[in-house]
Structure 1
Amino acid sequence: MPDARVEVRGAAWFEPTADGVLPHRLPAWTRAQFPDAFVAMCDEQPAGVRLRLRTAARRLTLHVRTWRVATLPHAEPAPPERFEVVVDGRVAGSAVCTAAGVLTFDPGTATTAAGPAPVGAVAFTLPDGAGTPADVEVWLPYRERVALVAVVADAPVLPPAAVDAPRWVHHGSSISQGANADVPTGTWPVVAARTAGLDLVNLGLSGNAVLDPFVARAIRDQPADVVSVKLGINVVNHDAMRRRAFGPAVHGFLDTVREGHPTTPLVVVSPVLCPLVEDVPGPTSIDPDAPDVRFRTAGRASEVAEGKLSLRVVREVLAAVVAARRDAGDAALAYVDGRTLYGDADAAELPTADLLHPDAAAQRRMGERFAAVLRAL
């Protein structure tokens, strides 16, 4: 288990394995309810997870095992993701783990296969504090599976100061997990949290924000000063629900969250702009004929009249759910249209290369905009 001098923030529990200590973002009890290995893979990807400590060291090295995802049919592993070090609140450097294993993911069957991973070193040179201990955070990659092996420093490591910032628990899709961000602190939830001065728990689960009850209970059962849920795009991606089921399912998800947080500020965020499925339903998938990773939809616009969900319909339903609950007395519930975070003008300036996920610059812009929402709460 982690040393008491090193706090791992943003993780629900730690699994001791032969490869090292594996942080999980969802509680251990949820694993029995995972529908497939895709959810397990996302749970083990440490989006928003960071190590906290105090030290006067100039050299800090993190020994880890990492696995990079290779998504079929394009079986090449993703390029190395960066670890980042933050010293006294400021980003002070980044590094990659050059040694890595491969975790192959088949989206068609929602299965994974992990190969062996060697121990690699992620080394940082910290600013010279003239022997004065500084508050240090090491942010882990948002998409690589990371097992923690050791922290080595050239000066004593001390326990970190207690966190006194308000705690923000967020759930969403791959965009919330960080898709296409260039660094861990560049994902929009981390940008928003650091800008607004909040302590983030990121439950963004790539492809898996589909109103799973175990996620609602995971949010319900943990401390939170503010909660946000970004819903809809994955429901459309999977063609998981029709309009008849979607509204009541959202109500049920929010009911569960409210059991643990009856008066906590709770924000429902609708999908950001995605022209691929604005007026056309899913299911979506990776286009096997495209030269690079690009998404397509098998839905037809005519199917919306039959009850299938497009993003335009999703936003209409989410806004209606929030309005009904506010009319019923839930004054701490708010609705944010995702297109205010990334809309038509943003898509013209910063288009999505894969037709689904905004790029790194758009991730930062979304975070800066959502920080204003958080400050208002």
Structure 2
Amino acid sequence: MPQTIPINDPRFTWRGMTSAEVANGSVKPWRIPHKEKALYDMNLVERAVMPTGIRLVFRTNSTTITGNCDSVDERSNIDLVVNGRLAGSVETVNETSFQFENLGSETKDIELWMPQFGSIRIDNLTFDDSAETSATSESTAPKWITYGSSITHCRTADSPTKTWPAIVARTRGYDLTCLGFGGQCHLDPMIARLIRDREADLISLCVGINIYGAGSLNERTFAPGIMGFIQIVREKHPTTPIALISPIYSPGRETALNPVGFTLEQVRKEVKRAGETLQAHGDDNITYINGLDVFDSDNAHLLPDDLHPNNEGYGIMASNLLGLLPRI
């Protein structure tokens, strides 16, 4: 008889998760402390329950892995990584279970990459009747936190390992925490506190596109907002490398004034100015990355809505950022 193990069993480890909402043995992974969600804007909360970048890891020699989960009508795939290599991807929309088969009977390191879009609650995993399942070794990989908008959240990537943060993390061997929140990158102080309080060897902040789109900060408040956000992070990460990244190319926005009188070109200048001001103030561990060096007008055809890259576009972002992000 196949053996079913509750998802809150200590043999299973969640990585890239901020908190776990546990109910009757099931787990819903969050990217903010879910018990404090009233302290966050509700639009951000709706994105924070989407587990982009979160992995469930363990070791097993089972030839089949089956999971039971809740049914959601809009949700990305779950990806299976075996011994560091992508081994499968399954759809989860309107499904109450997922399964990976023909995995071989050798003992292997398993990573289940959770959907980058849509929430998920998992009840248990089922294995072969004679399978042995154990906890994986504690990670010694460098810890990387990346914060940003929908362009970091990457809903339109084909699957969770195809987002640019996942590609960068897997290529460099980083332990990823992805804080990309579609439409909700507005330099919230609660997010600065969250980053401050997590272990990190590298931090990247992709800021500006949501602020431009919503007009949520202006010439008076934007650069000071960036600097204040970073200073909060610096309270517990005084020398951690921070990459400050301005918006990628977006046709129709480059020279168009938003409700507070910003163009996207001006937004980039303000992001750069904030970084240079912090450097002049003695912060030697700030790196500014121009978003146009990450994704420029030559790639405009990979922006189906003139804003969000498609799957190929996210691959280009990852390739360029691999050469631009500080190495640790």
Identify the match of residue 183 of structure 1 among 159, 162, 167: 159
Aligned to 1:139: 113
- Matched to 1:92, the amino acid is A
Q: Distance in 2 between matches of 1:317 and 1:127?
A: 50
Aligned to 2:46: 41
Q: Percent identity?
A: 31
Identify the match of residue 212 of structure 1 among 168, 172, 188: 188
Runs of 4+ in 1 over 3 A off after TM superposition: 17-20, 374-377
Q: Does 1:158 align with 2:164?
A: no
State the Cα distance separating 1:237 from its structure 2 match.
1.4
State the Cα distance separating 1:328 from its structure 2 match.
1.6
Cα deviation, 1:139-170, whole Å, max 9, x if unaligned, reads 01100110111111112211111111100011
Q: Is the contact between residue 195 and residue 368 of structure 1 (CA under 8 Å) also seen in structure 2? A: no
| Pair 213,96 (structure 1): closer, same or farther in 2 beyond 3 Å | same
Cα deviation, 1:259-296, whole Å, max 9, x if unaligned, reads 110000001000010113111134xxxxxxxxxxxxxx
Aligned to 1:222: 198
> What TM-score do the two structures reach when normalised by structure 1?
0.81
Q: Distance in 2 between matches of 1:148 and 1:170?
A: 25
Q: Distance in 1 between matches of 2:241 and 2:250?
A: 27
Q: Does 1:373 align with 2:324?
A: yes
Identify the match of residue 32 of structure 2 among 26, 40, 60: 26
| Pair 160,343 (structure 1): closer, same or farther in 2 beyond 3 Å | same
Secondary structure of the corresponding residue to residue 243 of structure 2: strand
State the Cα distance separating 1:334 from its structure 2 match.
0.4
Aligned to 1:13: 19
* CA root-mean-square deviation: 1.7
Identify the match of residue 359 of structure 1 among 301, 310, 313: 310
Q: Is the contact between residue 5 and residue 157 of structure 1 (CA under 8 Å) also seen in structure 2? A: yes
- Matched to 1:67, the amino acid is V
| Pair 269,66 (structure 1): closer, same or farther in 2 beyond 3 Å | farther
- Matched to 2:224, the amino acid is P
Q: Does 1:99 align with 2:75?
A: no
State the Cα distance separating 1:99 from its structure 2 match.
2.7
Aligned to 1:340: 293
State the Cα distance separating 1:97 from its structure 2 match.
2.3
Aligned to 2:58: 53
- Matched to 2:289, the amino acid is V
Secondary structure of the corresponding residue to residue 340 of structure 1: helix
Q: Does 1:65 align with 2:70?
A: yes
> What TM-score do the two structures reach when normalised by structure 2?
0.93
Q: Is the contact between residue 207 and residue 244 of structure 2 (CA under 8 Å) also seen in structure 1? A: yes
Aligned to 2:219: 243
Gaps of 5+ in 1: 70-79, 101-119, 283-298, 300-306
Gaps of 5+ in 2: 1-6
